[in-house]
Each structure stands twice: as C-alpha cells, then as structure tokens.
A and B are shown apart, each in its own frame.
Chain A
Amino acid sequence: MDAFHNLAFGFTIFLQPVNIAYCFVGVLLGTLVGVLPGLGPSATISLLLPIIFHAPPVSSIIMLAGICYGAQYGGSTTSILLNIPGEASSVITCLDGYQMAKQGRAGPALGIAAFGSFIAGTIGVFGLMLFAPTLANLALRFGPPEFFSLAFMSLTLVTYVSKGSLVRSLIMACVGLIMSTVGMDPITSRTRFIFGLPSLLDGFELVYVAMGFFGLSEVLTNLGQSLNQEIIETKIKGLLPNRQDWKDSAKPIARGTVLGFFLGILPGFGAAITTFVSYAIEKKFSKHPEKFGTGTIEGVAGPEAANNAASSGTFIPLLSLGIPVNPSTAILVGALLILGLQPGPLLISTRPDLFWGVVASMYMGNVMLVVLNLPLIGLWVQILKVPYSLLYVFIVLICQIGAYSVNNDVNDVLLINIFGLFGYLMKRYQFEGAPLILGLVLGRMFENAMRRSLLMSDGNPLIFFTRPISAVFLVVALFFLISPLLTKQRIGKEAIEAKD
C-alpha cells in the first residue's frame, strides 16, 4: 500500500502546471523524434541537456523521460503508413504494419500500435513503481565490490549486444573509461590526461560529448548519405480495432509487455532487440506463422507493446541503482549529475519527489501519447515531408547554440564540434558511441568502487569473487566476454563483417 500512497504523492508533484507542461513537451518531442528517421532519443536528449541547466530538476527529468518513452510511440506511425521506421525499435513494425496499410487496414494497425503501447507502457510503469524501490532497498546493502562488479557487468553487456564488432565495442568502452579519468583525481588530487590544458581540469563534460557524439555526428552521418526520401502515402480509415483485432492482439500485447519489461531491465537489451524477440515469439505461438509479414495484427501488437514496456523497464536500474542500460539512460544519468542529484540506491529515499513525480508523469505521459498520436497522425506525416536538407540545418544550429548557452562560452562551441568530428569519424569506421558514453558515465563510479574495494581487502582482488552478489555479476560479465571466443558463430560474423 505504501507504493500507492507514494504514487498519490507523485501525482501531487506531477499536477503542478510546470511539470504537466514539461511532460507534454517531452512526449511531444519524443513522438516527433520517433517520427523522424535519423534523429533518435539519445540525440534529442543530448541536444536538450543545455536547457536543463535553467529548469527545475524534477521537471527536467520528467521531460527527458517523456522523450525516451514518447519516441517508441512515434516510430510506429511512419513504419505503418510509410514503411519508414523512425526508430530502430519500429523496424519490425514495418513488416506487418505497412502490409496492413496497403490492404486498407492502416487504421486498425495504428490503433492497435497506440493502444498496445499504452497498455504496455502503463503496466511497465506499474512494474517500475513496484520493482525500483525494492531494488534500491536491496542495493543499499551493496558495498564497493558489488558496485564495481555491477558497473563491469553493465559495460560488458552493453558492449556484447552492440550492433557492430565486439572488438570495436570493447575499445570504445575502454576509451570511455579512460575519458572518465581525465581531470583531477578525487582521491589524490593529482591531474591526469590534461596535457597542460586547464579547461580539462574538471574532465570531459557529458553535455559536449553526448551532443557531439549523438547529436552532431548523427546529423553529419546522415548528411553524407542521400538526403532524398521517398514518401508513399496510404489512406487511413477508422482507427479503432474491431473485436476480432482485439482478440488476436490481446495475448501478443500481454506477452510483449512481460518480455519487453524484463529485457528492458537488462543492460544492453534496448527496445529494438525486444521487438525482434517479441516478433519471433509471436510467430512461434501463432497458428498461422506463414501469414507473418503479410499484414497480421499480431506482428504489430506484440513488438509495439514490447518496445514500450522495455522503455519503462530501462528506468528501473537507472533510478534504483544509478546504472544506465542504454545511451539514452546514460545521458539521463549525466542529466541527474548536472542537476546536482546523485544517481544510485539513495536517490529514491533522498528525492522521493523526483522518483514518484517521474513515475506519475509516466502514467499521464502515456495517456497524453495516446491522445496525441491518434488524432495527430496526419500532422506527423506532414512533418516527415520537411526535407532533411532543411531539417538538418536546424539541428546543427540547435547543437551550436545549445553548447554555447551552457556557459556563454565560444570555446564550448569548438568543443562540441571536435566531439562531433570524432563521433562522425568513429561512426564512419563502424565504432559505436553507446559503449563510450556508458564508459564515460560509469567510469567515475567504477574507479572509485574499484579503489575502495582494493583498499578494503588490503589489495586482494579476490574480494570481487568472494562476495556472492559481486561474484554473480562478474560471472555473468565474464560469460558474455568469453562466450564469443567459444562460439564460432560470432567469430564468423565478425570475419564476414570485416570482409564486407
């Protein structure tokens, strides 16, 4: 009952007009970036980081969270109507969603995507409300060795499930860790990696790295490709699914919700992966698997529920442990730090207004998204018609102004351009940004926990294995690190990638 009492408290926070407004802006922006291909939630959150310097902390996190889960809604609209996935997590929706649209059933496809997302999102938030405080209480018993192993496991898992080569991802994770050590050592006060540059004394600020790596580099990568996109329009008739549609979709939505929620909690298993797993499961459970890909509503309902539930699931390790599981939540950790909040198990007890305010906003945000999505489908399609050659100019300008506005310093503009160049080159050479950002965000905690653990054990590294919880985290991490060496499949995949 405590949870419901706290939720009521959360609603008193959320119902302040400023928080409702920020939530609305967040879900609106989330839907927008979900609709637009080439601009993801990580890029958008990083672009908005400068704004939160001037905004109230709870409102800021409500808005940034709104972008994370709002993006999952927007992606389905363009997948169904135009066969253009706005997000990686909507790619699978194209398979059956677009086929349904071609058969004149765009309305039910959009309707089930929106309602399925709403149901999964709401149940996911309910799970967040129940699991996060429990996990945070459990984590209060964690000592430095457990935090070290947890951070190590998170980094390993994110690296393992990254899209590209494992070697490249591991390099990026290590570079992220090295970048986190730049500046003054908090224990010895010795300066590291500053090479005589006083501006590096405080280390690399996440704002610039994230904006450059995710915002600017994403735009530059798109600029290097064709800027013309073909849009095929489909007519929309009746958005409400009929009784049969609901009957066919009920179980896929339920399965997608459970699967997405629990996979979302695990580091690295972002919303995109859960949709593929959900689709595969639905096909397996279906009495007519051969119809998948020809316009079955189950192929839309399951994955759309899964990506929204996963989006809620990612907030559990973030808010209860301070551990990000994907780039968006890594940037959210950075946002919490910028706002002077310490992510970790104490966050819920020290800032209940933040946690319960965000939870309440997620309930209402999901309602706003259903209301926003269905009537505004026409508008989202029109927005997609804005040529990228115009849109990218605005995004670049927001990056430049955003970087400048943090300290009103021209040098910051130079800094973001340097990170943009680095991020672009890394993408060009097929290195992913996610492990680097995670390494940078987790690095301080990782180093601190490691040094404190070694001090505690009088220099005995076995401390990480003799404590049961820490040992479990490390065994999981080592399994994922070693498994590619044991399976020829992954090695073969990398060789093929290298040849390609």
Chain B
Amino acid sequence: MRELRSGLFFFGLSLLVLWESFRVELGTFKEPGSGFLSLFAGMGVLALSLVLIVRGWRIREPGKPHSHRVTFALISLFIYSFVLDSLGFIVATFFLVGVLLRLGQPRPWWFLIGVSALVTFISYLIFGVFLHVYFPRGFLGI
C-alpha cells in the first residue's frame, strides 16, 4: 500500500499546487508569472504520482510494521512545542527528557528523574546561561 498511499498523497498535493499556480497568475513564456515554475513542477508531481498510483495498484506490497516508540516520541515532541511557553523551559524539558528516556528503554524511576534533571540542568546552563538563549519561564516563573 506504500506506493498507492504516497501516490495519492502527492496526487492531491499536485492538484493543490496547480490550483494555486493558476490563482497567482501563470504569465506567458514572454513574461513568466508567479505561478510559472510551480505549474511545471506541479505537473511533474502530478504525472509522477500517477506512476506511483498505477504501480501501487498493480503491486500491493505489505506495509512496514509500525513503531509505537516513534508515535509516542512524536506526540511528546508536539506536546512539548505546545506547552513550552506556558510550562517554561525547565519544567517542559524535564518531562520531555523523562518521556524520551523511557521510550528509549525501560529504566527505574530514580534513573529517569535523575538523568532528566541532570540533562535539563546542563542544557539550561549551556544554552540559557553561557549562550544567553532567553528561554520561556512559564507560569511558575522558573
């Protein structure tokens, strides 16, 4: 299903690109407009995605096994980007590191807390103190 799925995705994307290229004005060969290049690139994606769709339709290869570790890592990264401002760098990073460590390998809770605290502290020291990156402090003000 990999070819079929990716083919359909890029087919949809190419339609969007073509629509936007026409919207922003194509121009002419004498005076190419803003949508000139994207039109040709979009047509390229359209044609190639059709190749993928046809190939995927004819040959149904099994999908790769899904990794839950990656899904959870991605979810935690997106949550991190949403809560970084409100929780502040130190608190949000402490939890992120803890979750990522746990995802990497099951470990005792004291190890997770200890390493998370250490990594958060070191990263704050390097980036916040030495490199003067102004991290968000969050509602706790730390």
Residue ranges of A at the interface with B (Cβ–Cβ < 8 Å): 54, 167-168, 170-171, 174-175, 177-178, 181, 185, 187-188, 190-193, 216, 220-221, 223-225, 227, 387-390, 392-394, 396-397, 400-401, 404-405, 408, 410, 413-414, 417, 420-421, 424, 428-431, 443, 446-447, 450-451, 454-455, 458-461, 495, 498-500
Contact = CB atoms under 8 A, between A and B. Distances in A.
A408 B134 contact: yes
A16 to B, nearest CB: 21
Nearest to A194: B20
- B interface, by DSSP: helix, strand, loop or mixed? helix
Nearest to A228: B105
Interface string B20-37: 100011001111111111
A221 B29 CA distance: 43
A397 to B, nearest CB: 6
Contacts of B5: 429
A413 B119 contact: no
Interface string B95-109: 011001101110000
Interface string B33-74: 111111001101100110110010001010010010110011
A224 B104 CA distance: 10
A410 B81 contact: yes
B70 A174 contact: no
B17 interface: yes
A59 to B, nearest CB: 15
B36 A400 contact: no
Q: How large is the interface on B (under 10, 10 to 19, 20 to 34, 35 or more residues)?
A: 35 or more
Contacts of B74: 220, 417, 420-421, 424
Contacts of B36: 447, 450-451
A54 B74 CA distance: 29
A239 to B, nearest CB: 34
5 contacts: A389-B104, A414-B82, A417-B77, A429-B5, A499-B59
A384 B105 CA distance: 17
Contact of A400 (B33, B77, B136): B77
| List of 3 A-B pairs having minimum Cβ-Cβ separation, nearest first | A389-B104, A459-B30, A224-B67
Contact of B37 (A171, A181, A400): A181
B33 A389 contact: no
Nearest to B13: A175
Contacts of A396: 73, 77, 100
A440 B10 CA distance: 17
Contact of B52 (A167, A192, A458): A167
A174 B41 contact: yes
Given A396-B77, A397-B123, A193 B104 contact: no
Given A171-B48, A223-B103, A421-B74, A498 B10 contact: no
B70 A424 contact: yes
A175 B67 contact: no
Contacts of A175: 10, 13, 41, 45
Nearest to B133: A405
B24 A170 contact: no
B34 A192 contact: yes
Given A424-B74, A454-B32, A174 B67 contact: no
Contact of B30 (A168, A447, A458): A458
Counting chain B CB atoms within 10 Å of each CB, the highest count among A54, A174, A390 belongs to A174
